[in-house]
């Protein structure tokens, strides 16, 4: 006797079950069960994974080991469990495609009427979506009213069943008697359906921990809110047969239900929405037309022959695979952006396509760059193209709303992002559920990185005994919970578009953000089913560029765009070779700055390499130094195998790009297209731990068998693993290199425009506003402070475009609503602070922020005076409204049209005393106030007032250090602006210190870091003594000792960019 | 005439922690607002400061800077207890001891006239400080001419001033940070460049109040007030106490009872003059051999009815034996004000007399001990033997009315499971029902069954770990 488990939850029931859909399918297949139903709680989030797992089982069954026919493969029954507001619960199983559509609609309906993550369902809702569904009444049947039973009986007819669930609980017998009597009364058939909450008995602890997390309690307190035993695991046929031996007909009924549920996700017929094309055109014809038209524009009427041939080839394949609509959608979005002046650019593998280039989806000419179209689209892979579009980050919402309007909310929905447990969250939440002290957990979690595996050592470092029973459980369960879904979130920009309503395809639910809905599948599910996804991603660098182009037009009359920026400019390359790149997209980090003088880029492709080389992939694969040596002629270029020459020629025999490592796998490790595709997916799914590891032995053994040195094979695999963390394909790097070049060009030629636009696009990039401001000042730009009379919300240019006026957005504590009030008040030309306060009607917090930032200086009073005046102003305004006062406030000189009485309006209506005198701020205080309130100082660098003090102690400036002698001992004091400990650096800490003249890069080896940990991590202004190292024009200070300098008045409140 | 002195128990909460954990003295220690990552560091010792831990840091941040940091929370009650004991101590040196309302570590004392006893006020101050040190607290004391002057002096470790003019001069130059101001006000004053008390006092009072609120205004008044307010004495404790030292130690219970009854009646007569009733008494019987027997008695409700107390006393002494003859008897009484609820005058007597039950329970407690009256409290547990616990009964609750529907069997659970030597003669009735136990405590899985033994139904289980069978109870 066999059975089919019809009531199974996976971890996609979000904290209500343990174990993945794949594990459930695998376990059921091991037990030889013919089918398994996945019925997560009002969710179909796990069905694609379960479906993929059954497909794998089918493939295995079709190719049995040893040529012997295996067991028939397991089938998936798609379903969901719906709990109603009256306490009932029904497992709904899709018999047909229509039933599946009804299930999607039902889940969408009940989810959209509730807040994120919740649903509200009634028996009427379920009855209204019964067509094509089988219902298994799992909970509450015995207590249900006749009305409800009648309603569902009528809706589902003979497809309504009462579940008999046995888990060896004493109270089950009485309940079962009631169920059977009730079923007999209403002529409802009973079916065996034990509930499955986890794949195996050993998963019970994890299940209970998840329940504790959900309930916000500990394992010691949860008591009988979890089942008493481990009988909720998936059980084999024999065990279930024993358990139900007195009612074998209910087991037979489960098999019968399974036989009737024939729906498979393979039955989903997905059609991409047809784009509106002009009359007389097919979508293919229209795509051809606009592509060729675009080519004429791109190549100014002279389309090269190879481009024409490439377009012909690409268009033929796109038409053959019926992807024309998708390209036209992207074309339409890009046109929308262009019409609205929104800067956008395709990234990723789309840059390999000449069609995308001609449609202006991407900005890189793939023919000129020699990029491979097959990386983007191929007949063999037969998977939909994936075009990611970068959009100015502050205008992305406009494009999203446009897409909703174009397709309607029923045909366009955002793809989900499954938030899963990572080492830090695992430690915190498992530990909390185990009842460990929060401070211990916090201490451990701070030591854990996202790739941490050595938990026992971390516990030991945190002063805890990893062998203690509770800590052993913490370690085991924290490992087990990894990758378990926590909740659904929204993918940064993925849209699923459908010709039919999306809610017939997948349920849609509310997201946390207002007016946002999200489908229950993530991008991997969408890819697995071969559906089309449009990615609209926000990119700050494009906002930066748009802002810069607008400023150039406004102040210099220049109408520039990315395409019009000169492609060659030696002066810009000289700047890059110096590593002078603060604010330049992608190449501004400390590591990139150090690499630039070594790589010495002199052409665009060098930038493509520069962007790709400072990545975990090439670094962990040990590819950086060989490439640099070969580039500088210090080492011969050689190839590990003659077959690999075409693959590695561009990068001097060293693999640097994602495509190259994939091709290596195909050519050198004889990967089949299918295996290579899986490798690409595993590399893409870089957050899913361990997915890459399974390729290791295969790649290395196959490469060595072809005569490639094991060392090289190991390095290639290390790099693949590195790419698993983060790596760039060549086309992607090329797209980013273009933005990098544009920003570098602007930085060199228009530093004020560059810095102003960058400050307006902030937060973005690597550096704090203070660093951007100081860099601009060093480049000769005048930076003017915030001023309520002159500043806008954004930073603006003054003095013919040579000076930056800081915007009020930089006043911490001031909201954009407050700015609107200031703008309105400013139009009334208030002559005094009192008049301004009265007109602007700001709260005390905003007024204090303005006073502290110096933005009220236009009224001719000191910051302290202004602060005294505005403190308590709201209270006084309310109390003293209408009262007269003899007191007068300082005013600015009267302007034309203003009367003296206007300027002498009282502010402190309740105080009859003369305002006290306050000591003016000295230089140090002034800078400190600036930093605290505006994150920068237009009045000077925090180190500048200390210079005399430091010079007396013979301490050099950063500029002096840069000119120092290799090997000399140098002491330096500076402001810490960046601390980094990259995982690829073996515990080394990289510090960047700044003073008014520039930067000093410090390297702290692991042993020194341990010795000086507290000083290095806590000091804002740090003193360093070290050995100066000069190599390839790059200067570092290797720390020998450090100290906390005595700063008169204390260190300024400056936030550094730590460990990003 | 007042000669105010201020005693500042430096970082009192930290000292309480260090007194509680003397082994931490050489280690980094912080007092935190709560033992959680987001708790704030309130006080630190020197070792913690040297390790980089500063006040105001989050506890988690402090731990990341100094992993060996010992953090501890000090509750208000603990602080108040420490202050109470210090007040009692200080009352030996001056009748006027007043707690500082805005700084829990500071106490004002009146030193007026004490130079005659101690030679000088400086000598008196040193004696006070030494006595406080003897209690385990480090302190600073300053004898001044004004309350604020002595407070400020103590905070800055100034022992005293030669004249009130000198005190005024010194106070004006003292840093504003020693003022007991809210942190945000202190920060604002620093922003305004107001760094000394003199500068603070120079600000207009109206402006202070309208900007910084009433609390700051109160401090401002204290700092600028010309007259010196007298130091108030502490309240007399309301608890009563009586003691009898016996010339010839007593070993007979009857004699002892008689002596205690005498003391008790004296105390009862003292409460008659007030609205208070005796809520609880504690007896201390000091024996000849140095041992001390302590007993506590509590009636159902606070009472000054001598008969009630004497009855409880006699019941308790029926089961009490002293180790040796008693040479001193002390009776402590905890009194409470009792108002007779007016509504009770009109209420009819309930069918169940809860007051009578409470009286009966009081007698049982007096006879057998305070924890003898218990009630069953259900627990959310799976194992049958853990589904209830016995908890001391404070107040009798009327039972909820239960209407059993249909036929119900009753399970009786044994106090301890009894091992089943043999399963011979047992016929299974139902089972197994599986209870897996607490996996995090390595508990064994149990398989429960109901089984017939003749006409009796047994409730048995199999312990899977030990492979043994036990009787959990029976079914009726």
Residue A217 CA to residue A15 CA, distance in Å, equals 13
Residues 142-201 of B with CB under 8 A from A: 188, 191-194
For residue A786, the SS3 value is coil
For residue B295, the SS3 value is strand
Does the pLDDT at position A515 exceed 90? no
Residue B374 CA to residue B391 CA, distance in Å, equals 5
Instruction: Tell me if B123 is assigned to some domain.
Output: yes
Q: Is B449 on the interface with A (CB under 8 A)?
A: no
Residues near B463 by Cβ (< 8 Å), separated by ≥ 6? B444, B446, B469, B470
Chain B residues with CB inside 8 Å of A912's CB? 206
Average pLDDT over residues A526-545: 91
| H or E element in which residue B44 lies | strand B41-44
Chain A residues with CB inside 8 Å of B66's CB? 1014
Residue A793 CA to residue A631 CA, distance in Å, equals 47
Instruction: Tell me if A702 is assigned to some domain.
Output: yes
Decide if A350 contacts A373 (C-beta within 8 A). Answer: no
Nearest to A913 among B193, B206, B438 (CB): B206
**What is the pTM for the complete model shown?**
0.76
Smallest CA–CA separation between B60 and chain A, in Å? Answer: 7
- The range of the structural domain enclosing residue B336 comes to 253-341
Instruction: Tell me if A287 is assigned to some domain.
Output: yes
Pair B145, B202 in one domain = yes
Verify whether the Cβ–Cβ distance A438 to B440 is below 8 Å: no
Q: Between A272 and A699, whose confidence is greater?
A: A699
Chain B residues with CB inside 8 Å of A222's CB? 380
Does the pLDDT at position A427 exceed 50? yes
Pair A448, A502 in one domain = no
Where do we find the tokens 């039955």? A267
The conformational region for residue B240 under phi > 0 = left, psi -120 to 50 = alpha, else beta, is beta
Pair B108, B74 in one domain = yes
CB pairs below 8 Å between A and B: how many? 114
Chain A residues with CB inside 8 Å of B448's CB? 170
Residues A849-879 as b/e (b if ≥16 CB within 10 A, e otherwise) read bbbbbbbbbebbbbbbbbbbbbbbbbebbee
Given pLDDT bands bounded at 50, 70 and 90, which one contains residue B404?
low
Nearest to A224 among B65, B380, B434 (CB): B380
Given pLDDT bands bounded at 50, 70 and 90, which one contains residue A416?
very high
Pair B18, B156 in one domain = yes
Pair B331, B426 in one domain = no
Nearest to B36 among A438, A913, A1014 (CB): A438
CATH of the domain at A37: 3.20.20.140
Given pLDDT bands bounded at 50, 70 and 90, which one contains residue A450?
low
Pair B150, B229 in one domain = yes
Q: Is B212 on the interface with A (CB under 8 A)?
A: yes
Smallest CA–CA separation between A920 and chain B, in Å? Answer: 8
Task: Identify the DSSP state of A1032.
Answer: T
The confidence score (pLDDT) of residue A453 equals 66
Burial (CB < 10 A; 0-12, 13-18, 19+), residue A175, is middle
Does the pLDDT at position A357 exceed 80? yes
CATH of the domain at A428: 1.10.10.1600
Pair B21, B162 in one domain = yes
Does the pLDDT at position A913 exceed 60? no
Decide if A742 contacts A545 (C-beta within 8 A). Answer: yes
Does the pLDDT at position B348 exceed 60? no
The confidence score (pLDDT) of residue A452 equals 61
Residue A1056's closest CA among A994, A1001, A1012, A1004?
A994
Does the pLDDT at position A909 exceed 60? no
Nearest CA in chain B to A461: B67
For residue A749, the SS3 value is helix
Count Cα atoms within 13 angstroms, Cβ side, for A1043: 8
Residue A302 CA to residue B149 CA, distance in Å, equals 92
> Which tokens belong to B438?
């607490």
Does the pLDDT at position A137 exceed 60? yes
* Angle separating helix axes A624-631 and A604-613, nearest 10 degrees: 150
Averaged pLDDT of chain B? 85
Average pLDDT over residues A593-597: 92
Nearest to B206 among A219, A462, A910 (CB): A910
The confidence score (pLDDT) of residue A915 equals 75
Pair B230, B267 in one domain = no
Residue A743 CA to residue A586 CA, distance in Å, equals 10
Nearest CA in chain A to B202: A916
Given pLDDT bands bounded at 50, 70 and 90, which one contains residue A892?
very low
Given pLDDT bands bounded at 50, 70 and 90, which one contains residue B341?
very low
Given pLDDT bands bounded at 50, 70 and 90, which one contains residue A1057?
low
Mutation test of the interface with chain B: which of A218, A424, A438, choosing the one with the most B Cβ atoms within 10 A? A438
Instruction: Tell me if B130 is assigned to some domain.
Output: yes
Question: Of all residues in chain A, what percent carry a pLDDT higher than 90?
Answer: 59
Burial (CB < 10 A; 0-12, 13-18, 19+), residue B119, is exposed
Where do we find the tokens 């790709």? A612
Residue B46's closest CA among B23, B21, B20, B27?
B27
The confidence score (pLDDT) of residue B76 equals 87
Q: What does the radius of gyration of chain B's CA atoms come to, in whole angstroms?
A: 32
Pair A500, A391 in one domain = yes
Does the pLDDT at position A882 exceed 50? no
- Please count the other Cβ atoms lying within 10 Å of the Cβ belonging to residue A14: 22
The confidence score (pLDDT) of residue A558 equals 94
Q: List, as one string, the DSSP characters of A423-472.
A: HHHHHHHHHHHHT--HHHHHHHHHH--TT---HHHHHHHTT--TTSHHHH
Pair A396, A447 in one domain = no
Does the pLDDT at position A1056 exceed 70? no
Residue A942 CA to residue A1053 CA, distance in Å, equals 10
Residues near B154 by Cβ (< 8 Å), separated by ≥ 6? B6, B7, B8, B106, B140, B141, B142
- Cα of first residue to Cα of last residue in chain A, in angstroms, is 58
Pair A902, A959 in one domain = no
Pair B291, B225 in one domain = no
Does the pLDDT at position A952 exceed 60? yes
Residue B310 CA to residue B316 CA, distance in Å, equals 10
Chain A residues with CB inside 8 Å of B67's CB? 443, 462-463
Pair B213, B265 in one domain = no
Q: Examine the fold and report which residue of B341, B371, B397 is the final residue of a domain before the chain moves on.
A: B341
Where do we find the tokens 């880029």? A601
Q: Examine the fold and report which residue of A870, A897, A924 is the final residue of a domain before the chain moves on.
A: A924
Q: Which of A77-86, A310-319, A405-414, A970-979 comes out lowest in average pLDDT?
A: A405-414
Residue A461 CA to residue A452 CA, distance in Å, equals 13
CATH of the domain at A311: 3.30.1900.20
What are the tens digits of pLDDT across the range A620-635? 777 888 899 999 889 9
Residue A760 CA to residue A543 CA, distance in Å, equals 9
Residues 19-58 of B with CB under 8 A from A: 35-37, 51-52
Instruction: Tell me if A86 is assigned to some domain.
Output: yes
Instruction: Tell me if B182 is assigned to some domain.
Output: yes
Residues near A732 by Cβ (< 8 Å), separated by ≥ 6? A347, A348, A349, A351, A658
Instruction: Tell me if A1000 is assigned to some domain.
Output: yes
Given pLDDT bands bounded at 50, 70 and 90, which one contains residue B233?
low
Nearest to B436 among A230, A864, A868 (CB): A230
What are the tens digits of pLDDT across the range A697-736? 888 888 888 888 888 888 778 777 766 556 678 888 999 9
Does the pLDDT at position A818 exceed 90? yes
Residue B50 CA to residue A726 CA, distance in Å, equals 41
Pair A902, A960 in one domain = no
Pair A247, A377 in one domain = no
Given pLDDT bands bounded at 50, 70 and 90, which one contains residue B230?
low
What are the tens digits of pLDDT across the range A736-756? 999 999 999 999 999 999 999
Does the pLDDT at position A467 exceed 80? yes
Decide if A770 contacts A933 (C-beta within 8 A). Answer: no
Pair B100, B147 in one domain = yes
Instruction: Tell me if A205 is assigned to some domain.
Output: no
Pair A80, A190 in one domain = yes
Nearest CA in chain A to B34: A439
Instruction: Tell me if B357 is assigned to some domain.
Output: no
The confidence score (pLDDT) of residue A1051 equals 67
Pair A441, A352 in one domain = no
The confidence score (pLDDT) of residue A815 equals 95
Smallest CA–CA separation between A79 and chain B, in Å? Answer: 29
Decide if A583 contacts A754 (C-beta within 8 A). Answer: yes
Nearest CA in chain B to A880: B210
Verify whether the Cβ–Cβ distance B65 to A169 is below 8 Å: no
Instruction: Tell me if A793 is assigned to some domain.
Output: no
What are the tens digits of pLDDT across the range B83-115? 989 988 998 898 888 888 778 889 999 888 888
Instruction: Tell me if A752 is assigned to some domain.
Output: no
- The range of the structural domain enclosing residue A698 comes to 623-724
* Phi, then psi, of B241 in degrees rounded to 5: -150, 140
ipTM of the complex: 0.72
Chain A residues with CB inside 8 Å of B434's CB? 168-169, 228-231
The confidence score (pLDDT) of residue A907 equals 43
Does the pLDDT at position A877 exceed 80? no
Nearest to A219 among B188, B204, B440 (CB): B440
What are the tens digits of pLDDT across the range A214-262? 999 999 999 999 999 999 999 999 999 999 999 999 999 999 999 999 9
Given pLDDT bands bounded at 50, 70 and 90, which one contains residue A298?
very high
CATH of the domain at B294: 3.30.1490.100
Instruction: Tell me if B34 is assigned to some domain.
Output: no
Burial (CB < 10 A; 0-12, 13-18, 19+), residue B382, is buried
Does the pLDDT at position A980 exceed 70? yes
Pair A382, A451 in one domain = no
Smallest CA–CA separation between B437 and chain A, in Å? Answer: 7
Does the pLDDT at position A483 exceed 50? yes
What are the tens digits of pLDDT across the range B50-62? 888 888 888 888 8
Nearest to B433 among A169, A208, A913 (CB): A169
The confidence score (pLDDT) of residue A903 equals 35
Pair B276, B220 in one domain = no
Q: List, as one string, the DSSP characters of A363-414.
A: -S-HHHHT--GGGT--TTT-----EEEEEEGGGHHHHHHHHHHHH-TTTEEE
Mutation test of the interface with chain B: which of A175, A181, A228, A981, choosing the one with the most B Cβ atoms within 10 A? A228
Pair B202, B320 in one domain = no
Q: Examine the fold and report which residue of A461, A489, A517 is the final residue of a domain before the chain moves on.
A: A489
Average pLDDT over residues A1023-1034: 91
What are the tens digits of pLDDT across the range A558-570? 999 998 899 889 9
Does the pLDDT at position A440 exceed 90? no
The confidence score (pLDDT) of residue A875 equals 65
Does the pLDDT at position A462 exceed 80? no
Q: Between A467 and B300, whose confidence is greater?
A: A467
Smallest CA–CA separation between A911 and chain B, in Å? Answer: 6
The confidence score (pLDDT) of residue A1 equals 54
Given pLDDT bands bounded at 50, 70 and 90, which one contains residue A67?
low
Quote helix, strand, coil % in chain A, to nearest 5.
50, 15, 35
Pair A905, A1007 in one domain = no
Instruction: Tell me if A591 is assigned to some domain.
Output: no
Burial (CB < 10 A; 0-12, 13-18, 19+), residue A690, is exposed
Domains: count for chain A: 6
Nearest to B436 among A228, A443, A1015 (CB): A228
Instruction: Tell me if B353 is assigned to some domain.
Output: no
Pair A405, A442 in one domain = no
Domains: count for chain B: 3
Given pLDDT bands bounded at 50, 70 and 90, which one contains residue A883?
very low
Pair A135, A248 in one domain = yes
Average pLDDT over residues A766-788: 94
Does the pLDDT at position B343 exceed 70? no
Instruction: Tell me if B10 is assigned to some domain.
Output: yes
CATH of the domain at B110: 3.30.70.270
Residues A255-271 as b/e (b if ≥16 CB within 10 A, e otherwise) read bebbeebebbbeebeee
Question: Taking the mean position of all CA atoms in its chain, how far away is CA B97?
Answer: 23
Instruction: Tell me if B347 is assigned to some domain.
Output: no
Residue A1043's closest CA among A1018, A1022, A1058?
A1022
Averaged pLDDT of chain A? 88
Mutation test of the interface with chain B: which of A206, A230, A427, A439, choosing the one with the most B Cβ atoms within 10 A? A439
Question: Taking the mean position of all CA atoms in its chain, how far away is CA A703?
Answer: 35
């Amino acid at each position: 006797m066999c059975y089919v488990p019809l009531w199974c939850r996976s971890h996609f029931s979000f904290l209500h079950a343990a174990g993945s859909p794949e594990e459930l399918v695998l376990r059921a297949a091991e037990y030889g069960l013919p089918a398994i139903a996945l019925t997560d709680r009002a969710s179909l989030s796990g069905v694609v994974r379960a479906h993929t797992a059954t497909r794998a089982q089918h493939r295995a069954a079709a190719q049995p080991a040893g040529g012997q026919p295996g067991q028939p493969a397991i089938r998936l029954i798609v379903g969901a469990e719906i709990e109603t507001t009256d306490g009932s619960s029904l497992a709904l199983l899709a018999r047909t495609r229509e039933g599946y559509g009804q299930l999607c609609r039902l889940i969408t309906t009940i989810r959209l009427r509730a807040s994120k993550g919740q649903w509200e369902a009634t028996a009427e809702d379920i009855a209204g979506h019964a067509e094509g569904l089988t219902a298994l009444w799992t909970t509450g049947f015995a207590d249900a009213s006749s009305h409800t039973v009648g309603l569902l009986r009528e809706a589902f007819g003979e497809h309504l069943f009462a579940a008999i669930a046995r888990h060896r609980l004493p109270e089950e017998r009485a309940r079962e008697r009631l169920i059977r009597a009730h079923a007999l009364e209403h002529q409802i058939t009973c079916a065996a359906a034990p509930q499955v909450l986890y794949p195996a008995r050993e998963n019970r602890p994890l299940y209970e921990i998840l329940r504790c997390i959900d309930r916000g309690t500990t394992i010691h307190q949860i008591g009988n809110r979890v089942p008493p035993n481990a009988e909720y695991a998936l059980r084999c046929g024999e065990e279930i047969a024993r358990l139900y031996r007195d009612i074998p007909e209910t087991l037979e009924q489960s098999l019968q239900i399974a036989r009737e549920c024939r729906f498979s996700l393979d039955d989903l017929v997905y059609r991409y929405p047809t784009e509106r094309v002009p009359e007389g055109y097919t979508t293919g014809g229209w795509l051809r037309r606009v592509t060729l038209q675009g080519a004429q524009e791109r190549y100014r009427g002279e389309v090269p022959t190879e481009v024409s041939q490439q377009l012909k080839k690409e268009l033929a394949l796109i038409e053959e695979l019926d992807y024309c609509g998708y390209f036209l959608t992207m074309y339409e979005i890009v046109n929308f952006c262009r019409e609205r002046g929104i800067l956008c650019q395709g990234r990723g593998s789309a840059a390999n396509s000449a069609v995308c280039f001609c449609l202006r989806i991407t900005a890189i000419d793939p023919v000129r760059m020699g990029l491979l179209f097959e990386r983007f689209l191929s007949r063999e892979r037969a998977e939909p193209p994936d075009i990611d579009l970068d959009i100015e980050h502050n205008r992305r919402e406009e494009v999203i709303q446009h897409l909703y309007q174009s397709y309607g909310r029923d045909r366009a929905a955002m793809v989900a992002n499954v938030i899963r447990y990572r080492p830090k969250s695992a430690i915190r939440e498992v530990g909390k559920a185990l009842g460990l002290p929060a401070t211990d957990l916090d201490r451990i979690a701070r030591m854990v990185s996202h790739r941490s595996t050595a938990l026992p050592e971390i516990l030991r470092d945190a002063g805890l005994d990893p062998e203690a029973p509770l800590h052993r459980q913490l370690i085991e369960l924290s490992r087990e919970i990894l990758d378990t879904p926590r909740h659904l979130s929204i993918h940064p920009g993925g849209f699923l578009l459908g010709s039919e309503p999306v809610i017939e395809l997948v349920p849609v639910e509310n997201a946390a953000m207002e007016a946002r809905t999200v489908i229950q599948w993530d991008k991997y599910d969408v890819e697995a089913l071969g559906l089309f996804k449009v990615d609209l991603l926000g990119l700050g660098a494009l906002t930066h560029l748009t802002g810069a182009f607008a400023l150039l037009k406004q102040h210099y009359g220049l109408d520039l765009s990315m395409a019009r920026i000169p492609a060659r400019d030696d002066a810009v390359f000289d700047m890059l070779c110096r590593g002078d790149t603060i604010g330049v997209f992608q190449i501004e980090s400390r590591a990139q700055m150090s690499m630039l003088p070594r790589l010495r880029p002199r052409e665009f492709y060098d930038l493509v390499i520069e962007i790709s080389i400072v990545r975990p992939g090439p670094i962990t694969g040990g590819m950086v130094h060989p490439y640099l040596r070969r580039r500088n002629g210090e080492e011969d270029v050689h190839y590990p195998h003659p077959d690999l020459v075409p693959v590695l020629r561009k990068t001097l025999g060293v693999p640097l790009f994602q495509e190259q490592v994939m091709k290596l796998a195909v050519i050198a490790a004889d990967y089949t297209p299918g295996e290579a595709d899986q490798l690409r997916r595993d590399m893409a799914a870089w957050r899913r731990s361990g997915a890459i590891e399974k390729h290791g032995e295969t790649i290395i053994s196959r490469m060595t068998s072809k005569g490639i040195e094991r060392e090289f094979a190991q390095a290639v695999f290390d790099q693949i693993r590195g790419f698993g963390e983060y790596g760039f394909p060549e086309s992607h790097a090329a797209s980013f290199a273009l933005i990098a070049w544009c920003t570098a060009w602007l930085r060199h030629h228009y530093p004020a425009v560059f810095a102003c636009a960058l400050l307006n696009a902030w937060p973005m990039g690597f550096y704090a506003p203070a660093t951007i401001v100081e860099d601009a000042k060093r480049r000769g730009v005048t930076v003017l402070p915030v001023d309520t009379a002159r500043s806008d919300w954004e930073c603006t240019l003054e003095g013919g475009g040579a000076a930056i006026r800081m915007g009020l957005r930089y006043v911490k504590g001031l909201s954009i609503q407050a700015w609107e009030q200031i703008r309105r008040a400013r139009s009334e030309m208030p002559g005094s602070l009192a008049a301004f306060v009265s007109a602007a009607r700001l709260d005390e917090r905003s007024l204090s922020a303005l006073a502290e930032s110096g933005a009220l200086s236009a009224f001719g009073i000191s910051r302290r005076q202004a602060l005294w005046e505005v403190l308590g102003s709201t209270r006084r305004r309310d109390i003293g409204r209408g009262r007269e006062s003899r007191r007068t406030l300082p005013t600015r000189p009267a302007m034309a049209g203003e009367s003296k009485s206007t300027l002498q309006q009282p502010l402190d209506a309740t105080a009859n005393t003369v305002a006290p005198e306050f000591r003016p701020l000295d230089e140090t205080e002034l800078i400190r106030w600036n930093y605290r309130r505006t994150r920068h100082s237009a009045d000077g660098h925090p180190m500048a007032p200390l210079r005399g003090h430091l010079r007396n102690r013979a301490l050099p400036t950063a500029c002096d250090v840069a000119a120092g002698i290799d090997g000399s001992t140098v002491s330096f004091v500076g402001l810490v602006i960046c601390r980094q400990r990259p995982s690829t650096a073996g515990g080394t800490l990289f510090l960047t210190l700044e003073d008014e003249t520039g930067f000093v890069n410090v390297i702290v080896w692991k042993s020194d870091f341990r010795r000086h940990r507290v000083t290095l991590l806590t000091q804002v202004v740090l003193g360093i003594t070290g050995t100066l190292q000069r190599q390839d024009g790059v200067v570092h200070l290797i720390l020998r000792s450090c100290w906390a300098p005595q700063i008169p008045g204390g260190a300024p409140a400056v936030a550094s960019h730590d460990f990003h | 005439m007042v000669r105010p002195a201020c005693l500042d128990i430096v970082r009192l909460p930290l000292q309480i922690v260090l007194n509680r954990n003397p082994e931490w003295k050489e280690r980094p220690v912080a007092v935190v607002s709560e033992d959680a990552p987001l708790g704030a560091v309130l006080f630190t010792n020197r070792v913690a400061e040297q390790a980089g831990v500063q006040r105001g840091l989050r506890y988690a941040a402090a731990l990341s800077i100094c992993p060996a940091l010992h953090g501890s929370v000090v509750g208000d009650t603990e602080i108040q207890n420490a202050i109470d004991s210090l007040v009692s101590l200080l009352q030996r040196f001056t009748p006027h001891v007043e707690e500082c309302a805005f700084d829990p570590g500071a106490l004002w004392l009146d030193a007026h006239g004490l130079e005659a006893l101690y030679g000088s006020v400086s000598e008196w101050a040193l004696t006070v400080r030494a006595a406080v040190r003897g209690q385990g607290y480090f302190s600073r004391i300053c004898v001044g001419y004004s309350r604020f002057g002595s407070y400020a002096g103590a905070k800055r470790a100034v022992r005293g001033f030669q004249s009130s003019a000198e005190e005024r001069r010194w106070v004006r130059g003292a840093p504003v940070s020693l003022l007991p101001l809210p942190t945000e006000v202190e920060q604002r004053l620093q922003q305004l460049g107001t760094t000394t008390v003199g500068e603070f006092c120079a600000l207009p009072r109206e402006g202070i109040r309208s900007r910084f609120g009433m609390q700051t205004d109160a401090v401002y008044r204290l700092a600028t007030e010309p007259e010196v307010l007298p130091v108030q004495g502490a309240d007399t404790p309301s608890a009563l106490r009586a003691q009898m030292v016996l010339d010839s130690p007593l070993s007979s219970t009857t004699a002892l009872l008689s002596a205690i009854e005498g003391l008790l009646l004296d105390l009862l007569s003292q409460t008659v003059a007030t609205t208070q009733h005796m809520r609880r008494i504690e007896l201390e019987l000091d024996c000849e051999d140095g041992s001390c027997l302590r007993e506590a008695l509590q009636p159902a409700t606070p009472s000054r009815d001598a008969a009630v107390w004497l009855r409880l006393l006699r019941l308790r002494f029926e089961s009490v034996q002293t180790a040796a003859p008693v040479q001193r008897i002390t009776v402590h009484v905890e009194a409470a004000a009792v108002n007779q609820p007016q509504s009770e005058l009109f209420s009819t007597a309930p069918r169940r007399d809860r007051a009578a039950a409470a009286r009966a329970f009081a007698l049982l407690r007096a006879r057998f001990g305070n924890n003898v009256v218990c009630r069953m409290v259900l627990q959310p547990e799976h194992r049958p033997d853990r589904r209830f616990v016995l908890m001391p009964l404070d107040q009798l609750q009327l039972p909820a009315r239960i209407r059993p529907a249909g036929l119900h069997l009753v399970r009786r659970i044994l106090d301890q499971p009894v091992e089943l030597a043999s399963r011979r003669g047992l016929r299974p009735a139902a089972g197994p029902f599986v209870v897996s136990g607490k996996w995090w405590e390595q508990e064994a899985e149990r398989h429960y069954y109901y089984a017939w033994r003749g006409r009796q139904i047994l409730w048995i289980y199999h312990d899977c770990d030990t492979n043994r069978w036990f009787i959990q109870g029976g079914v009726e």
